Structure 1
Amino acid sequence: MEAYIKHISCYLPTGSLSNDEIATRFPEWDSEKIIQKIGVKSRNISDENQFTSDMATEAINKLCLEYKIDKASIDYLLVCTQTPDYYLPATACIVQNKAGLSTHCAAIDINQGCSGYIYGLSIAKGLVVANIAKNVILVTAEMYSKHIHPLDKGNLSIFGDAACATLISGEGSFRIGEFSLGSDGSGAENLIVKNGGMKGNKIADNDVPNDNYLYMNGPAIFNFTAKAVPELIDSTFQKNSENLDSINQFIFHQANTFMLEYLRKKITIPKEKFLIDMENYGNTVSSTIPIVLKNQIDSNSAQDKILLAGFGVGYSWGAVVIYKQ
């Protein structure tokens, strides 16, 4: 039995943060510098009273409306997030209720970030192939904006908020191939929020950067990525009996354009095969890959063989080839 990506829908919150707004706060960090270093012009930002369960529910509702999906047919819900509403209960259980899914629908959280879409697809495929579930919705929902201190101009420039809902089933638009996955927790402290919980993470007056907020060691993350990703791509080629020439498109986690261009050149991927689509979204963590894939599908630009690769926080990494049907 095979598993397929059947449909994808994405939800972007209505709030936004432009480069001009960031430059107004930080005059030394002008708009053109942000474009050159990161490749982002604007990013969607959730409002103060909007949380991950809200965005996830919006994405599911949009998916079901857009593709006329009967919610009663969904029998497994995976919510991939590193910005849960609470430490407990699972955000997935809250979303099951908010979205009006059946009480016969299983619901679990996956605490995974930049590789989360790939990890989520691997779990969803396993559920379908093992006949544990017939229709799995994988939601990737992140609001890193609530993890970022207002004085952290670097991370403010990088990250945006978004949620995507992907339906995985026994039939669909893209067959899910074989996975290559890995992790190395020795790098955990290089991208971390030591304290947290979205609904308890309120910014106090005269607050200064501390362990309640996102810390990222950019150079360490870059060095990890430069080493791990080329090896990941080679492993994924082997597991799917593919190569650089046979893959039509590459969709990597949209970390920032500098890193993406570095990886593209190091792996020698032709520019026309390598998709970068983050200018209007920023780095939306686990939602970057489905946003790019959704845009390709909607524009009829998705090709026959697409390699998806995620990497980052954890450290963790994963890749898979999907095949257009």
Structure 2
Amino acid sequence: MIYARIAGTGSFLPGSPVTNDDLVARGVQTSDDWITTRTGIRARHFAPEGMTASDMAETAARRAIEAAGCAADDIDLIVVATSTPDYIFPSTAALLQSRLGIRNEGAAFDVQAVCSGFVYAMSIAEKFIRSGSHRRALVVGAEVFSRILDWNDRGTCVLFGDGAGAIVLEASEAPGILASALHADGSHHPILCVPGTVASGKVLGDPFLRMDGQAVFKFAVKVLADVAREVIDGGGLSAADVDWLIPHQANIRIINATGKKLGVPDERVIVTVDRHGNTSAASIPLALDLAIRDGRIQRGQRVVLEGVGGGFTWGAVLLQY
């Protein structure tokens, strides 16, 4: 059996942390206590003017490739999860392929599933590898959500940040990804969306992120617990067999509620939302890379990654690292 196994991880956060007090100083009508109490977020990072998703993706990708001990040209598949691409087209993945100097004409494409994007991209890449058509995939989540925030809406602008995370998946006889599940229900799209579009050289509609926070919370807690159980069951395991849970880093209340519903103790849940906020498709690989590099996640341990995002989309991956 061919497995898709994580060979290396990398991440990137732009600039210096922007604290809650920094947002207040910039004129956002909020407070550190209001933000931390409701979300657990203490800081986030914003890309400077001119920095794009592919800029951040390149740095994260190079770090993942280095950690994997391979060359860039060994990558024969690139999947980038982003809702904030550099261009309408070509894809950010194609731009990243060029920037990395990869000339082997392997496949490169983007996935748009918002905050579930990385899980979607990882699951897709795994199927390419298990089919035998590709040997080594670069999977990236990269976002510049600061460009689509309404700074007069304190209910959303304090939540999000920019960043990128990446993994190299490679074909292996040793166990890697053990199970995955992807879902969507488009009927829920009004509770989290950016309802604008570009046509005839103009932005039509609302170009900013809009969210019904209470509705998102209720939906997210339910589907994250359900999809985690789905992949755990699919891998023939129980929640007690899972060493680490890495949920999408959106809100500490959602993270805590999900862990509680699954029966996973707090000490086995990776939390990074406090230091970079909600980075959408980048949040899971950012948390994964941190926990691997600081030594918490060890080879052979079982990890559940799970995300939920606008669409609505949700999904999970069970893997043995």
In the TM superposition, residue 124 of structure 1 has moved relative to its aligned partner by 0.9
Write the letter of the residue equivalent to 2:311.
Answer: G
Superimposed CA distance per residue, residues 47-105 of structure 1 (whole angstroms, 9 cap, x where no aligned partner): 11111121112222333345543111111111110001122222211221122111512
Q: Is the 8 A contact 1:38 1:257 kept in 2?
A: yes
Answering whether residue 51 of structure 2 is matched by residue 59 of structure 1, we say: no
Q: C-alpha distance in 2, partners of 1:110/1:27?
A: 32
User: Identity over the aligned pairs, expressed in percent?
Assistant: 29
Superimposed CA distance per residue, residues 299-318 of structure 1 (whole angstroms, 9 cap, x where no aligned partner): 22115111111112111111
Partner SS, residue 176 of structure 2: strand
What is the alpha-carbon root mean square deviation over aligned residues? 2.1
Question: What TM-score does the superposition give when structure 1 sets the normalisation length?
Answer: 0.90
Q: Which residue of 1 aligns with 2:313?
A: 316
Equivalent residue for 2:281, pick from 276, 280, 286: 286
Write the letter of the residue equivalent to 1:153.
Answer: R
Q: C-alpha distance in 2, partners of 1:130/1:298?
A: 30
Write the letter of the residue equivalent to 2:14.
Answer: P
Answering whether residue 161 of structure 2 is matched by residue 154 of structure 1, we say: no
Question: What TM-score does the superposition give when structure 2 sets the normalisation length?
Answer: 0.91
Write the letter of the residue equivalent to 2:206.
Answer: D
Alignment of 1:111-260 (within 5 A): 111-171=112-172, 175-195=176-196, 211-260=206-255
Q: Is the 8 A contact 2:28 2:152 kept in 1?
A: no
Partner SS, residue 295 of structure 1: helix
> Structure 1's 27 and 73: CA in aligned 2 closer, same or farther, altered over 3 A?
closer
Q: Which residue of 2 aligns with 1:205?
A: none
Structure 1 moving runs of 4+ over 3 Å: 25-28, 64-68, 171-174
Superimposed CA distance per residue, residues 209-231 of structure 1 (whole angstroms, 9 cap, x where no aligned partner): x7011111111211211322222
Unmatched 5+ stretches in structure 2 = none
Partner SS, residue 271 of structure 2: coil
Q: C-alpha distance in 2, partners of 1:272/1:201?
A: 49
Q: Which residue of 2 aligns with 1:265?
A: 260
Write the letter of the residue equivalent to 1:226.
Answer: V
Q: C-alpha distance in 2, partners of 1:96/1:195?
A: 29
> Structure 1's 233 and 60: CA in aligned 2 closer, same or farther, altered over 3 A?
closer
In the TM superposition, residue 253 of structure 1 has moved relative to its aligned partner by 0.7
Number of corresponding residues = 315
Q: Is the 8 A contact 1:74 1:102 kept in 2?
A: no
> Structure 1's 122 and 67: CA in aligned 2 closer, same or farther, altered over 3 A?
closer
In the TM superposition, residue 26 of structure 1 has moved relative to its aligned partner by 4.7
